[in-house]
Amino acid sequence: MAILIVDDDPHLGGLLSLRLGAEGYQTCTARSAEEVFVLLGLEAGVAADPPVKLVILDVFLPDMSGIEACRRIKADVRTADLPVIMVTGSTEEEHLRQAFEAGATDYIEKPFKGVEVVARIRAALRLRREIEERKRHAQALEQLAEQLRRANERLQALSFQDALTGLYNRRYFDDFLEREFRRAVRNQGVLALSMIDVDHFKAYNDRFGHQAGDDCLRRVAAALTLVIHRSSDLIARYGGEEFAAVLPETLLDGALEVAEKLRARVAALQLPHPDSPCGIVTISAGVAACRPEPGDHPESLIEAADAALYHAKRAGRNRVSA
Ligand code: GH3
Ligand code: MG
Ligand code: MG
Ligand code: MG
């Protein structure tokens, strides 16, 4: 990475090159703003090779004011971070002001001492390195924060998921029902709940074993999911072989229809169950709906749906009751 020395006076440019060379710096030179832009790849032509790490820029150039050239370097994202040290033979204070306003890193008046230029270059490059290091740090921190955010999201999703069926778990169900209940209270809306229980499931386990029982629950869960496709509805594993469907803004009739679809869908799986009167795995569902008022609690809706489920069981199972 070279230091680009821009001066229309080849003698001065050459002297500076020698001095910086003696300090171990690589240098390249340009005599006009145009040449600078080409060297830096800002103009059609060749890009900087070797790339430039700092520019020493004369205020007076034949084709453009050095201050204007500095402004252009700073305006381009590719070179905005490049340190520019302005050098001038003028003692006009206005130039100094303009140079810094144009984004110059430093400003040196001629005649200058070699030691001063070298010291200022060192300082500018050190500052540049520090800024870059801080940028890298900030980027690394940002990446880390993003990774943490994603990991958190995954964890959160997992904490709401039932491991066996992939459905929402009881915890999420409780939160969701509470939320929807409160919303219904606020909007004076309605809310329906369906409690679902697999029929004679103990006998299924007893005959086929617990693993087969788990498989059966997974297939039942998948079937239930196919019926609940409204994005505002929720199907969850309530516990054991029990599931629950929360149907916001749904009246009892609508909820009964959905429950009947759930029942039919599971029956349609035709999973053999020799110890059930139907010979296949079936579910019973209890449905309840309410228009909750302030002071009401979701528990009462759960109790009503549970009571309806109990009815469905008493009435012979593989049916829906309200
Ligand atoms: P009913 O028709 O009255 O609902 O009869 P049931 O046999 O289904 O009811 P019961 O509550 O007596 O039995 C439920 C069974 O579900 C007992 C339990 O072993 C089984 N079960 C609960 N959770 C799981 C599970 O995660 N995996 C398996 N394989 N079985 C489970
Ligand atoms: Mg049960
Ligand atoms: Mg039971
Ligand atoms: Mg059961």
Q: What are the pLDDT digits (tens) for 222-237? A: 999 999 989 999 999 9
Q: Supply the angle between the helices 252-268 and 210-227 in degrees, to the nearest 10.
A: 130
Backbone angles phi, psi at 265, to 5 degrees: -65, -40
- Classify 218 as helix, strand or coil: helix
Among all ligands shown, which has an atom nearest to the Cα of 244? Answer: 2
- Measure Cα distances from 171 to 3, 47, 197, 235 in Å: 64, 60, 18, 13
Residues that place a CB less than 5 A from ion ligand 2: 197, 242
pTM: 0.71
Q: What was the pLDDT predicted at 45?
A: 56
Cis peptide preceding 111, ω within 30 of 0: yes
Q: What is the CB neighbour count within 10 angstroms for residue 27? A: 20
Among all ligands shown, which has an atom nearest to the Cα of 212? Answer: 1
* Ligand 1 pocket mutation pick from 162, 165, 167, 201 by most atoms within 8 angstroms of CB: 201
Q: Is 123 exposed, middle or buried (0-12, 13-18, 19+ CB in 10 A)?
A: middle
What average pLDDT does range 58-85 have in this prediction?
Answer: 95
Q: What was the pLDDT predicted at 51?
A: 83
Q: What was the pLDDT predicted at 171?
A: 96
Q: What was the pLDDT predicted at 90?
A: 85
* Ligand 1 pocket mutation pick from 198, 205, 219, 241 by most atoms within 8 angstroms of CB: 241
Ligand 1 atom closest to the CA of 210, numbered from 1: 29
Pairing label, strands 2-6, 52-58? parallel
**262 with 283: CB under 8 angstroms?**
yes
Whether residue 141 has pLDDT greater than 70: yes
Whether residue 48 has pLDDT greater than 60: no
List the single range of 36-40, 46-50, 69-73, 96-100 with lowest mean pLDDT. 46-50
Q: How far is the CA of 262 from the centre of ligand 2 (A)?
A: 17
What average pLDDT does range 273-300 have in this prediction?
Answer: 97
**Closest by Cα among 181, 280, 289, 278 to 223:** 280
Amino acid identity at 188: Q
Backbone angles phi, psi at 52, to 5 degrees: -95, 140
Q: What was the pLDDT predicted at 50?
A: 52
What is the percent of the chain with per-residue pLDDT over 90, rounded to a whole number?
Answer: 91
Among all ligands shown, which has an atom nearest to the Cα of 198? Answer: 4
Which residues are CB-neighbours of 81 under 8 A, at least 6 positions away? 128, 131, 132
**Atom 23 in ligand 1: which residue has the minimum CA distance?**
240
- Ligand 1 pocket: which residues have CB below 6 Å? 164, 197-203, 205, 210, 213-214, 217, 240-241, 313, 317
Q: How many whole angstroms from its chain centre is CA 198?
A: 39
What average pLDDT does range 134-149 have in this prediction?
Answer: 97
Confidence band (pLDDT; 50, 70, 90) for 46?
A: low
Torsion of CA 54, 56, 60, 61, to 10 degrees: -60
Confidence band (pLDDT; 50, 70, 90) for 49?
A: low
Q: What was the pLDDT predicted at 1?
A: 87
**Atom 11 in ligand 1: which residue has the minimum CA distance?**
202
Structural tokens at position 158: 């997992």
Q: What is the ipTM of this complex?
A: 0.97
Q: How far is the CA of 285 from the centre of ligand 3 (A)?
A: 12
Mean pLDDT, all residues of the chain: 95
**Atom 26 in ligand 1: which residue has the minimum CA distance?**
240
- CB half-sphere exposure, 185, CA atoms < 13 A: 13
Confidence band (pLDDT; 50, 70, 90) for 59?
A: very high
Ligand 1 atom closest to the CA of 211, numbered from 1: 29
Whether residue 66 has pLDDT greater than 60: yes
**Closest by Cα among 48, 58, 8 to 28:** 48
Its sign, for the CA torsion 15, 21, 25, 27, is: positive
Q: Which residues are catalytic?
A: 241
